[in-house]
Amino acid sequence: MRLLVIGQTGQVARELARRLPEARFLSRAEADLADPAACAAAVAASDADAVINAAAWTAVDKAELDEAEATAVNGEAPAAMARAAAQRGVPFLHISTDYVYDGAGDAPFAPDRSTAPLGAYGRSKLAGEVGVRAAGGRHLILRTSWIISAHGANFVKTMLRLGAEREVLRVVADQIGGPTPAAAIAEALIVAAQALRDGAPGGTHQFSGAPDVSWADFARTIMAQAGLACRIEDIPSTDYPTPARRPLNSRLDCSGFEAAFGITRPDWRQGLSDILRELS
């Protein structure tokens, strides 16, 4: 299977590259999501059997200041690429987020649950979902959460840096979700891409790490696995204000993805161990 991957340096793109050295990966210079028409042209010109969009605007707080650009990158570009893929008759796989929900309650969100983003980032990602579906081609929208890896900027690397510098860290304890190793997302996308290429229907699915955990308890596990003495102090989200509101409940019901593709939720604790081993 010939795969075209939009993105090259992000967490998931780098894990895809490890597993698919033969795939073609487009850098920002080749497919800038701020230019949806150029991205669509790149998909149209490709001979790939499937397209994976592993690039996105991920600066959640910055999106509050520039929602138009975030929407171009996360909304308009995926829609344009999905239309180009549909015209070529090839599947389009797109990564979305738990931020499309409002985080209410404490039950896992099912894929068909009503969406209600709290901020600009979530609205931009929801716009991408709508556009991908409207393109009319075979597609997979994969909502995930709390992506972690040994690459780029993420919670694990931030905790390791701060934990080595400080005796105590104050971390929010009322936001609950599933940390998801980028490596597991990459492997899931590869399986799903082949399935869609072989005729699987795709649709909107969800995939996150297990078990669900608070940021504070996640931080404690990071310190323990890394052998750091830094103590974690629980705080509410109100004690750590940010420009963009975060959903308190990011639990995702991933049972549909397991039923459709046979892929179970990855244990993020093992994924964390793998990340720490790589970083060391």
The residues carrying an active-site annotation are 121
d(CA 25, CA 180): 22
Strands 202-206 and 139-144: parallel
Q: Own/partner pairs for 38-47, CB < 8 Å, 24+ apart?
A: 39/6, 39/77, 39/80, 39/81, 40/80, 40/81, 40/83, 40/84, 41/84, 42/4, 42/6, 42/81, 43/4, 43/6, 43/81, 43/84, 43/85, 43/88, 44/84, 44/87, 44/88, 46/4, 46/88, 47/2
Distance separating alpha carbons of residues 136 and 87, to the nearest angstrom: 9
The token pair that represents 239 in the structure block: 């004690």
